[in-house]
Structures are given as structure tokens and as C-alpha cells.
Amino acid sequence: MGNLLRIGLVVPAVMVADVLLAQHLFPGFRPGAQFISELGGPAAPNPAIFNVGMILAGLAGIAAGAGFAQALEHAGGRRQVSAFAGLWVAMTGLGALFAGLFHWPDPMHRACGVGLAIQFAPLFTAWALWGRPAHRRLARFSLSWFFFLLLVLALLTGVWNVRTGNDVGFWQRGHAFLGLLWLAIAAFCLDRHWRARDLPAAPVDSEPTAEPDYAPAAS
């Protein structure tokens, strides 16, 4: 399961690289005014690049969700809450899988919206690890990140009319990137804890071996 967790470090890089490459090979693509999904649509000159990349990232994300859940539980997290945290990560991978299998504007492409489940992964990670001294910083960081993601999602959906038709793509990318960035950081922290379990414990001497640094008093 440790290897599955480490996939969580790879998934964000694969997704970002796939989008950047597909965007670079799409002349005239406007990242602000157009959605990411259009990189795999009929107007894209090389839609297979985006779609195949999303399928691979999606499969990896589903696997990472299983490793994430077990790593959280191993770190002392609450069992059921850890399972849900892993589920939200896996659903993010499922969303990417749908995006690659059902190309925009296929009506089934809307199923990729399940990828927004990444919004809840930081909250459940914080809940799972809350009160665990060894993971206090990760729990607090994840809780703060959840509210930050929530704010960005609100702006993405049009709250306070901040979003416009010319920058909706940037908001979409921003929310996705922030969610993936949190996943990479959390997976890295949990992986360090996972690796530490295999380190040999320091030997404990039952009796001191060093000679005393004083001479016994003469009788």
C-alpha cells in the first residue's frame, strides 16, 4: 500500500503536464475563456493527448485513494473517516477517468464533475488526524486548505460576480491545481510517516557499558 500512496505524488504532476502539453498543441486555445475539457473535444487538433493522459491519471488517482486511506489509518487516523478521505481522493481520479473516456461535449462527460470531491479530502484528512500530536501540523494545514478551496469554488461558481466569461477557465484551473497541490503535500507527509515505520528502533542497553569517570574513594 505504500506504493499506492506514492502514486498520490505522481497524479498531480501527470494531470498538470497533460493539460499543459495538450494546451500547447492547440493553436488559438484561450485558457481563460475555454474550459479544460475542450482540450479533448472535437475542435482540438490532438484530442488523444488530453484524453489518454486523463485516463492514465484517473486510474492512478483511484489507486492513490486506496493507499491514502490506509496511510491515514496507519498514521493514527480514525478508521471510517480515513476511508472517506481516501474515497474523495479516488473519486477525483474517477472524475479524470470519465473526462478521458467520454469526450466533451458528450453528455456523459458531465460525470467528470465527481472530481470535485477533492474539495472534501482535506476536511476529512483533518478530521481523521485531529488530536494526533504527531500530525498536528498536517491536520491544521488540511483544515485551512479546505476553507481556502471552498472560497475558490464559490468564486468559480459565480458568487459575488467575481468570475467573468473571459476568466472562467483560469478559475477552473486554479481550483483543480490547488486541490492537486494539497494532495501532493499530504501524500508526501504521510509517505514520510509510512517510511519511518520501517526504520529499525534504536537499541536500548539494559546496563551501562561505559566506565565511570571517577575513581572510587579509598578506604
| The pLDDT value given to residue 10 | 87
| The pLDDT value given to residue 198 | 58
Measured at the CA of 15, the angle between CA 119 and CA 27, to 5 degrees, comes to: 120
Stretch 179-193: mean pLDDT: 92
Contact 99, 58 (CB under 8 A): yes
Contact 67, 6 (CB under 8 A): yes
Per-residue buried b or exposed e for 187-200, using 16+ beta carbons within 10 Å of the residue's own CB:
bebbbebbeeeeee
List the one residue out of 196, 37, 24, 29 whose CA is nearest residue 112. 37
- The string of pLDDT tens digits covering residues 97-147 is 999 999 988 999 999 999 999 999 999 999 999 999 999 999 999 999 999
- Separation CA 116–CA 157 (nearest Å): 12
DSSP H or E stretch at residue 53: helix 47-74
Q: What is the CA radius of gyration of the chain?
A: 23
- The string of pLDDT tens digits covering residues 9-25 is 888 999 999 999 999 99
Give burial (CB, 10 Å; 0-12/13-18/19+) of 11: buried
CB 143: neighbour CB atoms within 10 A? Answer: 17
Stretch 156-168: mean pLDDT: 85
pLDDT band at 1 (very low <50, low <70, confident <90, very high): low
Q: pTM (2 decimals)?
A: 0.85
Stretch 29-48: mean pLDDT: 93
